[in-house]
Amino acid sequence: MRALSVSVALIAILSVASSCRRSGCELPGEAERALNPRHAADREHLSQDLAIARRVADAYGEEAAQAPVESNSPAALRAAPGRGPKATQYCESILLNRIAATHHVTLDDLHAIVTLNSER
């Protein structure tokens, strides 16, 4: 009986861990703190957050692209090649909104930083 309880507990832990891995569109925890994108130090902090968000979103999209297609329907098979890029965009959108909310900046502020960084 004890072995059965341990097995059930292990299965529950593994299924939670597996679902957490699949839902990997999350940033590391960070305390809410207002930043001013006009200040160089705050702009650098936001740039670092944006770089982390990009890596997380890319990994999320890669995982979605490699996941097996769970249906043989024509619609599922047609949609499968686009899953990765769509998942990346979806995740990046979520993460940008979280960064904006955490640091009390606008999405326009974040997009301006992305543009500034790409021009360097």
77 Cβ contact list (under 8 Å, min separation 6): 69, 71
User: In tens digits, what is the pLDDT along the chain, a chain of 120 residues?
Assistant: 444 343 433 333 333 333 334 459 999 999 999 999 999 999 999 999 999 999 999 999 999 999 888 888 888 888 888 899 999 999 999 999 999 999 999 999 999 998 888 877
pTM of the model: 0.73
Domain count across the chain: 1
Q: Output the pLDDT for position 69.
A: 86
Q: Output the pLDDT for position 70.
A: 85
| CA count, 13 A, side-chain hemisphere, 98 | 19
CA distances from 2 to 6, 8, 36 (A): 6, 10, 57
How far is the C-alpha of 92 from the C-alpha of 6, rounded, in Å?
Answer: 39
Q: Is 39 helix (H, G, I), strand (E, B) or coil?
A: coil
Domain range for residue 10?
2-119
**φ and ψ at residue 32, rounded to 5 degrees:** -65, 130
Instruction: List the helix and strand counts (H, then E) for the chain.
Output: 5, 0
26-32-108-88 Cα dihedral, nearest 10 degrees: 0
